[in-house]
């Protein structure tokens, strides 16, 4: 291929679209005219029409696509692993945690710290319980391992904090006693499956 052929390879109407370059205006008025010509085109009014149509649908047609966060919040999936809640027994109102310590042991971030003591009736009670949400990775193991469904993942998902360590105490996560009636049984990560009763089998006699 000669140099001339090389330079002209694939150049042609089939392969390239040649730009129709306009004359560059020299005067201010000419430049303004060019800007106005390029700016005000039919597409601009189509875009404005779409905007106004969607605004009318949102304001008067009940088709709002956004919510007023934080006053409104979108529902989250029950399996979402949000900030923990501590549940109470619905019958007595006492907290469900029996202080077994499994959640503390399984926590891979080592962010649960708890302690127990004996009360005046020699029953074990939780004396201290904290979760450091600066370390927690929301893996859900603690909710998965809890035998009492005491620690669960709730619906609060705002985990931002001004401090690297942000602790939550047992009382912060515990259902307020006056809100016990609104406490819902957890159906998310680590919860008992709806058909759990059907899966229970008798222990074989040989065992
Ligand atoms: S969600 Fe995971 S990291 Fe967070 S407290 Fe539970 S076990 Fe620990
Ligand atoms: S929250 Fe559950 S796993 Fe953790 S100590 Fe209490 S009963 Fe045990």
For 67-91, b/e burial (b = at least 16 CB within 10 A) is eeeeeeeeeeeeeebbbbbbbbeee
State yes or no: pLDDT of 13 exceeds 60: no
Residue 165, CA distances (Å) to 55, 131, 134, 162, 187 in order: 43, 10, 5, 9, 29
Which protein residue has the closest C-alpha to ligand 2 atom 3?
146
Phi, psi of 201 (to 5 degrees): -120, 155
Mean pLDDT of the region 109-120? 94
Alpha-carbon distance 184 to 154, whole Å? Answer: 10
State yes or no: pLDDT of 20 exceeds 80: no
Q: Write down the architecture of domain 84-192 according to CATH.
A: 2-Layer Sandwich (3.30)
CA 92 to chain CA centroid, Å, is 33
Q: Which of 7-11, 49-53, 73-77, 199-203 has the highest mean pLDDT?
A: 49-53
Q: What is the percentage of the chain residues whose pLDDT exceeds 90?
A: 49
Q: Where in the chain do CATH 3.30.70.3270 domains reside?
A: 84-192
**How many angstroms separate the alpha carbon of residue 159 from the centre of ligand 1?**
13
Residues with CB under 6 A from ligand 1: 106-109, 111-112, 131, 136-142
State yes or no: pLDDT of 14 exceeds 70: no
Q: pLDDT tens-digit profile of 54-92? A: 999 999 998 988 888 989 988 888 889 999 999 999 989
Bridge-based pairing of strands 112-118 and 124-132 is antiparallel
Residue holding tokens 């529902």? 75
Residues with CB under 6 A from ligand 2: 97-103, 145-146, 148, 150-151
Alpha-carbon distance 145 to 53, whole Å? Answer: 52
H/E run at residue 129 = strand 124-132
Mean pLDDT of the region 84-102? 93
Mean pLDDT of the region 31-52? 90
Q: What is the dihedral of CA 187, 159, 151, 177, to 10 degrees?
A: -90
């Amino acid at each position: 291929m000669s140099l001339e052929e090389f330079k002209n390879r694939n150049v042609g109407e089939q392969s390239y679209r040649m730009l129709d370059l306009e004359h560059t205006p020299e005067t201010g008025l000419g430049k303004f005219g060019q800007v106005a010509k390029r700016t005000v085109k039919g597409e601009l009014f189509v875009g404005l029409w779409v905007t106004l149509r969607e605004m009318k649908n949102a304001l008067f047609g009940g088709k709002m696509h956004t919510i007023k966060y934080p006053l409104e919040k979108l529902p989250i999936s029950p399996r979402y692993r949000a900030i923990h809640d501590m549940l109470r027994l619905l019958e007595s109102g006492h907290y469900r945690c029996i202080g077994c310590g499994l959640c503390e042991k399984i926590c891979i971030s080592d962010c649960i710290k708890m302690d127990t003591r004996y009360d005046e009736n020699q029953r074990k009670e939780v004396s201290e319980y904290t979760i450091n949400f600066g370390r927690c990775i929301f893996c859900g193991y603690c909710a998965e391992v809890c035998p009492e469904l005491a620690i669960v993942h709730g619906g609060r998902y705002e985990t931002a904090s001004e401090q690297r360590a942000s602790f939550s105490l047992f009382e912060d996560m515990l259902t307020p006693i006056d809100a016990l009636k609104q406490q819902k049984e957890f159906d998310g990560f680590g919860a008992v499956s709806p058909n759990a009763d059907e899966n229970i089998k008798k222990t074989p006699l040989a065992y």
